[in-house]
Amino acid sequence: MRTRTRVLTALLVVALLAAAGGGRWWWTREDRAKDAAATRAVAAYVAGWNHKDMTGVAFAQSSAAADFAAATKGLGSATVTATAGDVTRSASQATARLTVRWSLPSGRTWEYAVPVALSEQSGRWVIEPPATGSLWHPELAPGGTLTVKTLAAKRGDLLDRGGAALMPMTSVYPVQLDPTRATPESAAGLEALTGEAAGSLVAKLAAAKSSGSRAPIPVVTYRPADFDARRARLDTLVGVIYPRQEAPLAATRSFGQPLLGTYGPVTGEIVAASKGRYAAGDRAGLSGLQRQYDSVLAGTPGLQVVTGTGTVLYDIKPVDGVDVVTTLAPAVQGAAEQALTGAGATPAALVALDVTSGEVLAVANSTGDGLNRALNGHYAPGSSFKVATTYTYLTKGITSLNASVACPATVTVDGHSFRNFEGEEAGTPTFAQDFAMSCNTAFIGLSGALASGDLASGAKALGLGADWAGRIGVDGTFVGSVPETKAGTDQAATSIGQGRVEASPLAMAVVAGSVARGNYLPPTLIKSSARPAAAGGSSASASSGSASPVASPVASPRSATASAGGPSASSGAAYVPPTASPLDASAIESLRTLMRSVVTDGTGTAARDATGGEVSGKTGTAEYGTDTPPRTRAWFIGFQGDLAFAVLVEDGRSGGSVAAPLAKAFLDAYRAAPTAAAPTN
């Protein structure tokens, strides 16, 4: 009996153990199913973030999806990526943690953590609202909104050689049509007031209204004086707006143009090329140095994400732009521009250099067509090139100042006839006299003694065709080109600055400066600039509230450091003065004598009585085109004391009659200016 009882007891224990084991197996399978369901709910939530659409997510509050759309609308087109950590469940409650990363403008990333709470309701898992804050950010109040704000950086200046701004920030008034309010009548009135083509603004307004566009239609931007003169009439036009803005402006519309450039609303082309730096509606440098050095001048804008109540959740401080230091002297620039008014509607250019340093003091262009002829022009230099030819002849021992060199009316080389200007002939004068009267046939008669590379080498020694384009710091600058010559016609034409030889006014000013100085110095125009360092970002809730960017040294006289950056916009290296290359002293002394005689007794006498002392120079009249007789470009290059210069007039009878008078007008205007002190370093 006792044995049977023990057996029954043992069997009961086994049965109870088996029952207990079977119950544990059943609970584990149900637990795993709940874990999987909670994990799927979190995955759906992550997908909602990544698609910026919460309509497919199960929330405890039915209004959550609409609340997400309203809360994040102010972040615009910013994309978002969310990732989830492990899901932890206890019975019908679960938690997780999301990492949310917003890709904001200018490559900034805003990252923060979002705690997630879930509950099982009626067989499904839903996202619960947090006890405090919002589902979308722990520090955002329920129903709150997020907005991106751009913080403008202070734009740097283009500085002159003395450290003053060439284009200081000034109030401007962009006149625009508001398509939601403007009428065809007001658009027509604005056409008449601003000089726009009749019907053009009416058509633009009609197109905007038809498309439903609310974007203002830009018309013209006025300086304060221009705006003040028109404001009363602008006020009478319905839907015409003119929000005051700040822009870098030179003293006048023409001063330093097109070199300095312009600033304004970015074009579609600039937006496309900016790799996200700019968006429609932004403002930047549009041309000239303002465009080339825009990333240096503009700095890096700051960025904030703020709530509707003003709480800053993410903050990147702006990095102010860096000044770009030029070698321009306003008094010299002003005198150059004043002188070029004498060319009237004919395109002309004038470049002036400081003889001592080789630095560019003035870059003047006479017309408002946006072409920088002074630096970028490719022109046959005509007889102004005879300075380089003479240096070559003298250093090669081909002639001397007192040698007799015939100057017939014409000379024929390989069947091609060359003539002097207007067919003059002078018998057999000295070479010095040939130079003063700019006798083509004399120079051509000597050219047969040259080797193929002689003229290229002689010109390069004086700076024409030398390797200084990268140092000048201005895109498109042309250093000139003097190819090796072929014997015969090609060599003859090159000797008088025709054929394949080309130069810019700056390149010819460098030649004049080399003679005046007695050695060759590469010219400089951009003396310093440094690209600001990129700034990182921070979440205001996670740190002190702002980034701590490290700026590059500000390379300008107004900076906190004394050193100056190099001419490259990206280098930020210390400015290194150019190294002088010696020239043949005897040949240079002879050239100075020859160039002085051009002004005293030769083709350049129009510059003889210029204010400021003795002028030395060389005229040039370069034929071009296919007209009969051919059209001519007029040149005069030279120096006076501390200034070397080159004047070009695109169409002119001769260098002596057209360009030399402009050179005199330039020197008169500059020497009469109250600030005309020697432009030395």
Q: Give the whole-angstrom CA distance, residue 329 versus residue 677.
A: 10
Which pLDDT belongs to residue 530?
Answer: 54
CA nearest to 380, candidates 469, 481, 519, 526: 481
- Residue 490: pLDDT band (50, 70, 90) is very high
Task: Give backbone dihedrals phi and psi of 37, rounded to 5 degrees, phi first.
Answer: -65, -40
Token couple for 317? 């401080």
Interacting residues of 453 by C-beta distance below 8 A, sequence separation 6+: 484, 485
Question: What's the CATH number for 39-144?
Answer: 3.10.450.50
Provide the sign of the torsion angle of the four alpha carbons 444, 450, 451, 455, taken in this order: negative
Tokens 């874990």 map to which residue?
35
Task: Give backbone dihedrals phi and psi of 57, rounded to 5 degrees, phi first.
Answer: -105, 140
Residue 409: exposed, middle, or buried by beta-carbon count in 10 A (0-12, 13-18, 19+)? Answer: middle
Domain positions in the chain are 39-144, 330-526+574-660
Interacting residues of 511 by C-beta distance below 8 A, sequence separation 6+: 384, 387, 388, 459, 462, 463, 464, 637, 646
- Residue 275: pLDDT band (50, 70, 90) is confident
Which pLDDT belongs to residue 528?
Answer: 83
- Provide, rounded to the nearest whole percent, the portion of the chain with pLDDT above 70: 88
Which pLDDT belongs to residue 367?
Answer: 82
Q: Give the whole-angstrom CA distance, residue 555 versus residue 527.
A: 9
Strands 158-159 and 324-326: parallel
Which pLDDT belongs to residue 397?
Answer: 97
* Tens-digit pLDDT profile for residues 538-574: 444 333 333 322 222 233 333 332 233 334 444 445 7
Which pLDDT belongs to residue 368?
Answer: 80
Strands 410-413 and 416-419: antiparallel
Q: Does residue 576 carry a pLDDT above 70?
A: yes
**Contact indicator for 507, 478 with CB cutoff of 8 Å:** yes
Which pLDDT belongs to residue 675?
Answer: 63
Q: Which residues of 456-480 are buried (b: 16+ CB within 10 A; e: fewer)?
A: bbbbbbbbbbbebbebbbbeebbbb
Average pLDDT over residues 652-656: 93
Encoded amino acid at 23, one letter: G
Which pLDDT belongs to residue 560?
Answer: 30
Average pLDDT over residues 571-587: 85
Average pLDDT over residues 476-483: 98
Q: Does residue 531 carry a pLDDT above 80?
A: no
Say whether 330-526+574-660 and 39-144 share the same fold: no
How far, in whole angstroms, is CA 602 from its chain's centroid? Answer: 44
List beta partners, residue 639: 616, 644
* Tens-digit pLDDT profile for residues 409-453: 999 999 999 988 776 788 999 999 999 999 999 999 999 999 999
Q: Give the whole-angstrom CA distance, residue 420 versus residue 441.
A: 6
Q: Give the whole-angstrom CA distance, residue 504 versus residue 429.
A: 32
**Contact indicator for 515, 471 with CB cutoff of 8 Å:** no
Query: Between these two residues, 512 and 541, which has the higher pLDDT value?
Result: 512
Average pLDDT over residues 504-523: 98
Task: Give backbone dihedrals phi and psi of 204, rounded to 5 degrees, phi first.
Answer: -65, -40
Helix, strand, coil shares of the chain, percent, nearest 5, are: 35, 25, 40
312-316: strand order across its sheet: 146-151, 302-307, 312-316, 538-539
- Distance of CA 580 to CAs 357, 455, 507, 577, Å? 9, 21, 16, 9
Q: Does residue 291 carry a pLDDT above 60?
A: yes
Token couple for 385? 């090139």
**Contact indicator for 614, 640 with CB cutoff of 8 Å:** yes
* Tens-digit pLDDT profile for residues 136-190: 999 999 999 999 998 989 999 999 999 999 999 999 999 999 999 999 999 999 9
Q: Give the whole-angstrom CA distance, residue 258 versus residue 262.
A: 8
Q: Give the whole-angstrom CA distance, residue 22 versus residue 32.
A: 16
By mean pLDDT, which of 15-24, 92-101, 163-172, 493-502 is the weakest? 15-24
Which pLDDT belongs to residue 561?
Answer: 29
Classified as helix, coil or strand, 75 is coil
User: Strands, E, within 195-307: which ranges?
Assistant: 217-222, 240-241, 245-248, 263-265, 283-285, 302-307
**Contact indicator for 168, 157 with CB cutoff of 8 Å:** yes
**Contact indicator for 223, 196 with CB cutoff of 8 Å:** no
Strands 616-624 and 312-316: unpaired
Q: Give the whole-angstrom CA distance, residue 336 versus residue 343.
A: 12
Q: Give the whole-angstrom CA distance, residue 610 versus residue 602.
A: 15
Task: Give backbone dihedrals phi and psi of 651, rounded to 5 degrees, phi first.
Answer: -130, 115
Average pLDDT over residues 486-496: 96
CA torsion, ordered 539, 541, 545, 549, to nearest 10 deg? -20
Task: Give backbone dihedrals phi and psi of 127, rounded to 5 degrees, phi first.
Answer: -85, 125
Token couple for 99? 């990492």
CA nearest to 666, candidates 351, 376, 357: 351
- CATH 1.10.390.10 is the classification of domain 330-526+574-660: no
Residue 515: exposed, middle, or buried by beta-carbon count in 10 A (0-12, 13-18, 19+)? Answer: buried
List beta partners, residue 165: 159
**Contact indicator for 529, 324 with CB cutoff of 8 Å:** yes
Q: At what angle do helices 386-395 and 505-517 cross, to 10 degrees?
A: 40
* Tens-digit pLDDT profile for residues 389-414: 999 999 999 999 999 999 999 999 99
Give the count of alpha carbons within 13 A of 126, CB side only. 16
Q: What is the 3-state secondary structure (H, E, C) of 143-166?
A: CCCEEEEEECCCCCCEECCCCCEC
- Dmax of the chain from CA atoms? 159
User: Strands, E, within 186-320: which ranges?
Assistant: 217-222, 240-241, 245-248, 263-265, 283-285, 302-307, 312-316
Interacting residues of 295 by C-beta distance below 8 A, sequence separation 6+: 277, 531, 569
Average predicted confidence (pLDDT) for the chain = 88
**Contact indicator for 260, 158 with CB cutoff of 8 Å:** yes
- Distance of CA 133 to CAs 114, 115, 462, 490, Å? 10, 11, 74, 83
* Tens-digit pLDDT profile for residues 91-131: 999 999 999 999 998 789 999 999 999 999 999 999 999 99
